[in-house]
C-alpha cells in the first residue's frame, strides 16, 4: 500500500485535493492521509465540523507557530510520520513551517513532494516590500522547530511568494507556466473539476440542498467578496437589471462578509440572496448556461463549461476597494477579465 499525505487547511484545499486524488490516486494501491492544520489564525474552515469522506484517514494538528509554545499534536503527528513510509507528500501550505520541515525531511526518505495551489497565490504578487513580516515569520518558524525537536539545519528565509519556500519536487498548478514563480521545479497542470460522485459526497458533507432555489438554468451568479464593495456591487446589479430584466440574479455572500454590510440588497427585489455558508463551487457546478461574475475569487477556477465567467478586479482595484498592493494574473482562458463597466456591458450584450 502506497501512503500519500496531503496537508491542507481550508475547504477549498480539500475540494482541490479530491480533484487531484481522482486524477492521480484513485486506485486501491493508494492509502490517502490528510494532515489538516488548525491554525488559530487560519481562514474559517469547517473541516473539523463536517463528516469528511470516510475513504481517507485524517490527522488533525492544532498549532500556531507564531506563539512560542510546544504542541502535543505536532509531537504525536511527527512520531507517526517517523514510523511510516510515505510515497508522496502534497501540501497547499506554501509558507507554513511544518510544510518546509516535511519537504526537507521527506527528501531523505525518498518521498516525492508536491506543492499544490493555495487558491490564486501562484497568480498574485505583492508590489511592496514585505521583508519585516518575512523575517518575523522565519524567526518564529525556527523557534517552532526547536520547540518540537525538529532537526532543521538549513538557512531559510520566508517568502510570501508562491513556490519559493520548501524543498519539494513538483508544483501542481492551474496553468503550465507561472508568471511570478522563479522555480526550477516541474509544473504539472491540473484541471480543477470533480466527478458527479465527489460532487454528491461534498453536497452531503456540507449539507447543501438546492431544492428551494430558483431553477439553476440561464441565471446570473454574483460571487460576493470578503471586502465591502457597496458602490461596485450596486452599480453591477443595476446594470444587470437593465440588461437582463427577466433573468434571475443569484447573490452568494462570502462566508466572512457580515450580513449587516449587505443591507443595501433589500432595495433590489429581483435578487435571490444566498447567505448559507458552503463552498460556492458546489453552486457553480450545478449551474447551466449561466453567467458568473466576481472580482477575483478562487471558486471560479472550478470550470463549468456551460457557463461564462467574468473577473472584474481591475474595476474594483480602481475604486479603491482592494487595499493590498497586489499584481494579479489570470491563469484560465475561459475567464474574461474586464477593466471597466462599459467593457463588461458590451461583453454581456454579446451573449
pLDDT at 105: 98
Number of CB atoms found within 10 A of residue 47's CB: 19
pLDDT at 238: 95
Question: How many CA atoms are closer than 13 Å to the CA of 293, on its beta-carbon side?
Answer: 24
Domains of the chain: 2-196 (3.40.50), 212-349 (3.40.50)
158-179 burial, b at 16+ Cβ within 10 Å, e below that, comes to bbbbbbebbbbbbbbbbbeebe
Distance of alpha carbon 206 from alpha carbon 211, whole angstroms? 15
In 3-state terms the chain splits into helix, strand, coil percentages (rounded to 5) of: 35, 20, 50
DSSP 298: G
pLDDT at 101: 98
Instruction: Give the closest residue to 20 by CA, choosing from 84, 77, 91, 87.
Output: 91
pLDDT at 42: 47
Q: pTM here?
A: 0.91
Tens of pLDDT, residue by residue, the chain (351 residues): 999 999 999 999 999 999 999 999 999 999 999 999 876 554 556 787 888 999 999 999 999 999 999 999 999 999 999 999 999 999 999 989 999 999 999 999 999 999 998 889 899 887 777 899 999 999 999 999 999 999 999 999 999 889 999 999 999 999 988 988 877 789 999 988 999 999 999 999 999 999 999 999 999 999 998 888 889 999 999 999 999 999 999 999 998 889 999 998 988 888 999 999 899 999 999 999 999 999 999 999 999 999 999 999 999 988 877 766 678 899 999 999 999 999 999 999 998
Instruction: Give the closest residue to 336 by CA, choosing from 324, 180, 322, 307.
Output: 307
pLDDT at 46: 76
> Measured between alpha carbons, how far is residue 259 from residues 70, 140, 183, 231, 262 in Å?
38, 36, 42, 16, 5
**Cα-flanking dihedrals φ and ψ of residue 57, to 5°?**
-105, 145
Q: Looking at the chain, how many residues does it have?
A: 351
pLDDT at 199: 94
Instruction: Give the closest residue to 81 by CA, choosing from 154, 150, 28.
Output: 150
Contact by Cβ (8 Å): 228, 261: yes
Amino acid at each position: 500500500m502506497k501512503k500519500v499525505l496531503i496537508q491542507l487547511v481550508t475547504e477549498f484545499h480539500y475540494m482541490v485535493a479530491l480533484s487531484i486524488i481522482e486524477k492521480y490516486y484513485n486506485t486501491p494501491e493508494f492509502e490517502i492521509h490528510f494532515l489538516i492544520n488548525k491554525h488559530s489564525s487560519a481562514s474559517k474552515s469547517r473541516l473539523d465540523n463536517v463528516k469528511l469522506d470516510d475513504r481517507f484517514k485524517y490527522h488533525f494538528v492544532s498549532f500556531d507557530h507564531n506563539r512560542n509554545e510546544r504542541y502535543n499534536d505536532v509531537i504525536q503527528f511527527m512520531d507517526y510520520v517517523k514510523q511510516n513510509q510515505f510515497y508522496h507528500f502534497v501540501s497547499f501550505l506554501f509558507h507554513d513551517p511544518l510544510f518546509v520541515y516535511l519537504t526537507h525531511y521527506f527528501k531523505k526518505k525518498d518521498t516525492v513532494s508536491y506543492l499544490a495551489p493555495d487558491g490564486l497565490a501562484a497568480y498574485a504578487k505583492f508590489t511592496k516590500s514585505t521583508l519585516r513580516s518575512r523575517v518575523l515569520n522565519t524567526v518564529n518558524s525556527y523557534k517552532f522547530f526547536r520547540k518540537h525537536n525538529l532537526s532543521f539545519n538549513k538557512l531559510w528565509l520566508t517568502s510570501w511568494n508562491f513556490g519559493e519556500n520548501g524543498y519539494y519536487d513538483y508544483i501542481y498548478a492551474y496553468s503550465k507556466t507561472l508568471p511570478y514563480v522563479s522555480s526550477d521545479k516541474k509544473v504539472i497542470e491540473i484541471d480543477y473539476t470533480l466527478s458527479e460522485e465527489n460532487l454528491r459526497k461534498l453536497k452531503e458533507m456540507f449539507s447543501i440542498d438546492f431544492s428551494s432555489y430558483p431553477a439553476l438554468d440561464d441565471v446570473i451568479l454574483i460571487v460576493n467578496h470578503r471586502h465591502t464593495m457597496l458602490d461596485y456591487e450596486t452599480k453591477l446589479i443595476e446594470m444587470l437589471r437593465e440588461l437582463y430584466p427577466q433573468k434571475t440574479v443569484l447573490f452568494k455572500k462570502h462566508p466572512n462578509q457580515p450580513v449587516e454590510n449587505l443591507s443595501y440588497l433589500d432595495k433590489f427585489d429581483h435578487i435571490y440572496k444566498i447567505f448559507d455558508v458552503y463552498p460556492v463551487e458546489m453552486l457553480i457546478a450545478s449551474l447551466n448556461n449561466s453567467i458568473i461574475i466576481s472580482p477575483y475569487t478562487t471558486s471560479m477556477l472550478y470550470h463549468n463549461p456551460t457557463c461564462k465567467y467574468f473577473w472584474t478586479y481591475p474595476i474594483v482595484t480602481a475604486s479603491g476597494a482592494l487595499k493590498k498592493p497586489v499584481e494579479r494574473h489570470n491563469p484560465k482562458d475561459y475567464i474574461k477579465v474586464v477593466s471597466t463597466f462599459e467593457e463588461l456591458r458590451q461583453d454581456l450584450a454579446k451573449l
